[in-house]
Copies of this chain bind each other. A is one copy, B any other.
Amino acid sequence: MAFLNDNYFKLKAGYLFPEIGRRVKAFGEANPEAAKRIIRCGIGDVTEPLPAAVTAAMHKAVDDMATREQFHGYGPEQGYEWLRQAIAEHDYRAKGIEVAADEIFVSDGSKCDCGNILDILGSQNKVAITDPVYPVYVDTNVMAGHTGEADESGAYAGLVYLKCTAENGFVAEPPKEHVDVIYLCFPNNPTGAVATRAQLEAWVAYAKEHQSVILYDAAYEAYISDPAVPHSIYEIPGAREVAIEFRSFSKNGGFTGTRCAFIVVPKTLLASTAKGEHKPLHPLWARRHTTKFNGVSYVVQRGAEAIYTPEGKQQVKALLDHYMGNAKILREAAAAVGLRVYGGVNAPYIWVSTPAGTTSWQMFDRMLNEANVVITPGSGFGAMGEGYFRISAFNSRANAEEVARRMKAIQW
């Protein structure tokens, strides 16, 4: 008989957002009137239209596909050269960062890339994640058989959890022990924290010493407002020898429903075979990407390219300003009612302490019942998220203002 991958049965009761969806649905069925005024600040999904430069480019690309002369069939799996060049030029070289176009692999999403990267890594690696954490890092390691069972707190045996707390500003220090693979995400989802240059230097130094690989998720880099905070791990000398970087058009260009992202695998990044030979990861990822993936839609890549035009950049900036304006309103509202507030300055997420004695899910239910606002319970991101909740700034201005009003109307 055919066998299943038993590792899937280790996964805890489902991904966070389906659980939120279930509770919101149940609330709506029980309270059909209140359901009409629900405002969603849960999942980090953009709400504003695509930049005009992007839709114009996509229209033109659709027209291309309607003529024999301009039709595009299979493209290069790694992405069209014009998009890889635009990324290398605008996101890296223009900022003095050394990344070549052929080190960039265009994909249909960072979520996919974060999961797929495990394909080329050995199963004997010791993996470290932060707590709280974007659940996909954990779940994909569970599925790949890199962990044991979860304990009562939801922590999986075999993973190294790096605690992020108010005390360390939600930026974990490198561990005392040895780990082979480390997931870092800055600006952080869910806490909105950013790492300083010195903190990233400490991580790169650790990775060099331990010959570890850092998986650096920079999907929210466009939201950094502090000029001293690095946007890319490659701003740190030596990072090209130890880090893979994940980037996305979802949160800058509003591509969550359009789907385009990329990953940087420097040719200078090595890891070990079982026998101890050091070999580059780049050709393995190239083989993986060309064998198990067939490139991003031509129309979508043309849309992504438009983000790098002068108009595109201006329109993206307006989008970012819009969402960060929301973040300010939401931050200030949470602070005004006496809650301790983190994030929301260099990231579109506000990370808020629940009132004493209130758990994250209790807070979720209260916000849903009393304010008809959907937030994300911090405990959904890991044990250390207990006692916090996340408010997403992805919304219309009117909704952000209304959420602020409703928060102030609750008896805290």
Contacts and interface: CB of A to CB of B under 8 A. Distances in A.
Interface of A: 1-6, 8-9, 11, 14-15, 18, 43, 45-50, 52, 55, 58-59, 62-63, 65-68, 71-75, 108-109, 111-112, 115-116, 119-125, 136, 139-140, 143, 180-181, 210-213, 254, 256-259, 271-274, 278-279, 281, 284, 287-288, 290-300, 396
Given A2-B181, A4-B271, 17 more contacts: A2-B121, A3-B271, A3-B274, A4-B272, A4-B273, A5-B120, A11-B287, A45-B74, A47-B73, A73-B256, A74-B256, A108-B297, A109-B294, A112-B292, A140-B291, A143-B292, A297-B299
A271 B1 contact: yes
Contacts of A258: 65, 297-299
Number of copies: 2
Nearest to A52: B66
Contacts of A139: 291
A294 to B, nearest CB: 4
B75 A109 contact: no
B299 A74 contact: no
Contact of A293 (B3, B109, B278): B109
Contacts of A65: 49-50, 55, 58, 257-258
A21 B214 CA distance: 34
Contacts of A66: 49-50, 52, 55
A50 B116 CA distance: 30
A210 to B, nearest CB: 7
A3 B297 contact: no
Contacts of A121: 2-5
A72 B292 CA distance: 27
A168 to B, nearest CB: 25
Contacts of A75: 257
A136 B293 CA distance: 10
B3 A272 contact: yes
A256 B71 CA distance: 10
